[in-house]
Amino acid sequence: MLVTAALPDGASSALRAAGIEVVGGDPGRDLDATALLEAVAEFDGIVCQLRDTIDEQVLGAGAAGRLRVVGTVSVGVDHIDLVAAARLGVEVCHTPGVLDESTADLAFLLVLGASRLAWDAELELRQGRWGGWELTHRLGHDVHGAVLGLVGFGRIGRAVARRAYGFGMTVLHHARRDTGVDGFVARLDDLLGQVDVLSLHVPLTEATRHLIGRRELALLKPGAVLVNTARGPVVDEGALVDALESGSLFAAGLDVYEREPEIDPRLLAAPRTMLLPHIGSATGPTRLRMAQLACEGVLDVLSGRRPSHPARRW
């Protein structure tokens, strides 16, 4: 099995115990795209991360050799060509469930931080620009009593909702199908005009790319806050920056970006933003369990068992 980047200690122990040779995964020696393409045909399985592009070319090269399974240390699978994988008979496994609570914690951190302008305030303090307490300085928005709108109501969205209830928020949500849960709004446009904070929890597909663009941002209530812990391209960043600069959007909290790891300089300079480097699931226990689950999926396939978490098109 090929590992494209270092895994947490102990993550691949089940594979090693089963007698599977694990190659790669050395700290500081991540496999680049060229090396991956050259090596893939020599392996029965790959454990990759979401920064690895597992496209038709890589899958084709692997399937022409020994490749049977790809396990990704992520819930999202937009970096993997699932159509090509299915056609070539390569199983793809991912890691849903184990990162829900950690990602929801981070999403709510962004809800709080963006609404209260915490990043701007901290930066002012660290740069020595704070002149002391002022009655009308750095006035943010209350989170308690506000209306939270969730776009996507899967495991992470529901976990964010639980946190919001604890803060006395009203929670509305939009999903592809009626959830049967109080607060469901069938049309996204109808949701946008009702919320004080909009938090995104959908996978990246062609249907969700730029789901929140200039038109949708204009439908938000004046002074709304946008939070994105889903995937960067779900939001049109250019339109987002324009809304922040004009003041029609009060603030934004982002953990994901359109062209990671590159960040649009306009976004870096935009006012009232809290920006984090894709750390939604970044706790030690969560990342370890994610890596273990990816390895277990690979082991299941190589052992002739059905994996517990096969990836399917959304």
Considering the candidates 278, 287, 289, 309, report the single residue annotated as catalytic. Answer: 278
Considering the candidates 173, 174, 201, 231, report the single residue annotated as catalytic. Answer: 231
Cβ distance 221 to 196 under 8 Å? yes
Cα separation, 285 vs 293, whole angstroms: 12
Beta-sheet strands, E only, within the chain: 2-3, 23-24, 45-48, 69-72, 91-93, 147-151, 170-174, 197-200, 224-228, 249-254, 273-275
Cα separation, 241 vs 212, whole angstroms: 12
Cβ distance 144 to 150 under 8 Å? no
Q: How far is the first Cα of the chain from the last one, in angstroms, to the nearest whole number?
A: 27
| Catalytic status, residue 278 | yes
Considering the candidates 141, 210, 260, 266, report the single residue annotated as catalytic. Answer: 260
Cα separation, 187 vs 290, whole angstroms: 33
| Catalytic status, residue 79 | no
Cα separation, 104 vs 108, whole angstroms: 6
Cβ distance 237 to 264 under 8 Å? yes
Q: Which amino acid is at 175?
A: A
| Catalytic status, residue 231 | yes
Residues 6+ apart with CB under 8 A from 133: none
Cβ distance 78 to 205 under 8 Å? yes
Which residues does the annotation mark as catalytic? 231, 260, 278
